[in-house]
Structure 1
Amino acid sequence: MNFSLHESDLSRFENDWNKVKSFVRSHGLDGVELFIDHNLLPDIPSGIVKGVHLPYWMGRHRAWVDEKSFNGNMDENEKFFLFGGHDRQDMISNFRSALENAASIDAEYGVFHVAYVELDHVFTRNFGVSDTEVMDSTADFLNGSLSFFPNGEPPVRLFLENLWWPGLNLLDTAATIHFIESLEFDNWAFTLDTGHLMNAIMNCTDQRTAIDSVLDLLARYPEDIIDRIEGMHLHCSLSGDYQMQVARNGAPEGYYDLSFHERLIAVMEHVSKIDQHMPFTEEGCRKIVDFVRPRFLTHEFETNSLPELDWKLRTQIQALYGNEI
């Protein structure tokens, strides 16, 4: 399951990693996928973290292709949130530090988002950039950042994750293949996020349709690409109708007059309605897992309490394995 070092997650288990371990074991899981960044990690018992999720800097593409973006009219908190650093070298350094953190806790992989979206884009969908442009800048960023490591390879296997914004959304097979051919390192694989793919397809209004749509899209890819999908974030998102409605309405009234923090809150509330992170209840979700055969499957949910997390895990595991559990 996904987990973080935030107090909202740790407090559910009374800041006791042994209780975290007991909880995941009670659901038949091997451990957690832990969100980390470049900051110094606390002591974490060995054996509980299987993989990590690296930070996502929404505006990385803009800053990477145009260094003047770092000099824009924004405070330092906004700059760091969007770009991951105060200049290009700071961005690279923070990314490398996150990877080194992952290696220090023996994570088997680190998930990395290949996507670009500005805050207002999540409402307007006026992205002004193509998937290929974002993937090209991401490949350049990764190749340059990883060149500092021995043999130009990341210290943990880099799992490239799809989103529904411009970038690696998996909708265009040729664009995806072009992207991976641009990578100058070999220690990588894909993480397939099922909910993100449903968000990208946008016709997913019920689980059965969503499952079929995901399978139809994956079937377009050659076997060697499917074999590179070593990770999976399993959850359900049926927000197609909502996305179209908001795209027609644009940004909320008064949005551009808000402070960065206020705009960020509005964006996160909206994104949570798009990316719903609900458990599958249809047994057909097993078809996706069987088609991909990932090495690592993460039940990825957003929850407000331990009972809610427990319910979502039990619900999806029951749908996935049925009478086998």
Structure 2
Amino acid sequence: MLELTNLSNADCDVENLLQNNAETLPAILREHGLDGIEFMRCAPWDRRMYPEELIKGVHLMFWPTWLDFWRGDRAALMAELGSEKNIRAYYGSLDVADWVEAWKQNLRQAAECKPHYLVFHVAHNRTSEMYTREFSASDEDVIRATIELVNELVPEIPQGCRLLFENLWWPGLTFRQPHLAAMLLEQVNYADTGFMLDTGHLMNTNLNLKSEAEGAAYVLKVYRELGEVGRRIYGVHLHQSLSGMYTREMMRRHQGTHRSLSWREGMDYVLHVDRHEPFRTDAARWILDTIQPDYFVHEFLQRSRADWESKLRTQRYALGFL
């Protein structure tokens, strides 16, 4: 089992986490006994700051809202984004083929890192649906569209690299319908597929959770209900999110409204729902002991190097590693 942490090469991470120092990342991994990182490429790759041998997985880019663009639903796109200029800014083009090429380019960039695995988000939502959770697309709609998209991308997936589909709480892969998870693996034309189970995202699908123990028990309940398909969970993004009270309040407050959100409003909402907090109790250990993934990632929202290391220590202590 490889023990990893998440890291991007966005400017904020280079400055706030690595402090523009190539020695920081190896030092943090040594200090906390980690095997490497799950990397997200947001900028040209500086191999000095992010050595290839430390990159074990790559998280692919994603667009939270994409199904309407893929389907060519111009009316829905205009309602969501307001103008052709905004559509072009969001997807990089008005042409779906150009957008697919951007995916392929991201896969070629990922291949340069020679990772063990890739992570692909399987979800879609319109910002106008975020507060209310009254979704226009079903889980099956998103799964079927994801199968279509991924099958166009398969030629660019580096051979010998696992493609792991990650769950969210939006329509798509939520793990609450095992037959849809199975369909995703069966119909994607790439042999080495599986899942990256995100524990916090799964907890976000249950608004009644009050404690880490309840959260971990819920994760394991859903895992057991997956049956045989659960054996294809090869990785775990480990963190906790107990945001049901906030989510319910926002649903109550915005009932009946369907206003598209600004980028800032959407991010503020997501950060309140998807908290990426470390586990502080041994409930974390229940998850790893039961699933026994090949990779697990301490996945946090890190504000500084000190914050990052504090969260690593907290969760590693909860796991009994300290």
User: How far is 1:40 from its partner?
Assistant: 4.2
Distance 1:202 1:101, change over 3 A: same
Corresponding letter in the other structure for 1:60: W
Determine the C-alpha separation between the residues in 2 that align with 1:113 and 1:25: 29
- TM-score (ref. length: structure 2): 0.89
Corresponding letter in the other structure for 2:300: F
1:179 equivalenced with 2:179 (yes/no): no
Deviates more, 1:285-294 or 1:190-199: 285-294
| RMSD, matched Cα | 2.3
1:65 equivalenced with 2:71 (yes/no): yes
- Runs (5+) with no aligned partner, structure 1: none
1:311 equivalenced with 2:310 (yes/no): yes
Determine the C-alpha separation between the residues in 1 that align with 2:244 and 2:44: 39
Distance 1:185 1:211, change over 3 A: same
User: How far is 1:167 from its partner?
Assistant: 0.3
Determine the C-alpha separation between the residues in 2 that align with 1:190 and 1:275: 19
Identity rate of aligned residues, in percent? 32
User: How far is 1:137 from its partner?
Assistant: 0.5
2:266 aligned partner: 267
Q: Deviation per CA, 1:162-214: give whole Å up to 9, x if none.
A: 00000001111122222222212212210000000000122222111111111
Q: Deviation per CA, 1:298-319: give whole Å up to 9, x if none.
A: 1000021111111111000010
1:250 aligned partner: 254
Distance 1:196 1:110, change over 3 A: same
> Are the counterparts in 2 of residues 192 and 231 from structure 1 also a CA contact under 8 Å?
yes
Distance 1:177 1:3, change over 3 A: same
Distance 1:3 1:97, change over 3 A: same
Q: Deviation per CA, 1:213-271: give whole Å up to 9, x if none.
A: 11111111223x22211111000000111111111112899965xxx7xx110110111
> Are the counterparts in 1 of residues 69 and 96 from structure 2 also a CA contact under 8 Å?
yes
Matches within 5 A, 1:9-158: 9-11=13-15, 12-36=17-41, 40-43=44-47, 44-66=50-72, 68=74, 72=78, 73-74=82-83, 76=85, 78-81=87-90, 83=91, 85-146=93-154, 148-149=155-156, 154-155=158-159, 156-158=161-163
2:295 aligned partner: 296
Q: How many residues align?
A: 311
- TM-score (ref. length: structure 1): 0.88
Q: Deviation per CA, 1:26-70: give whole Å up to 9, x if none.
A: 111111111125x64333422121111111111221211226479
Q: Deviation per CA, 1:87-108: give whole Å up to 9, x if none.
A: 2111111111111111101111
Distance 1:21 1:283, change over 3 A: same
Question: Secondary structure of 1:110's match?
Answer: strand
Deviates more, 1:244-253 or 1:14-23: 244-253
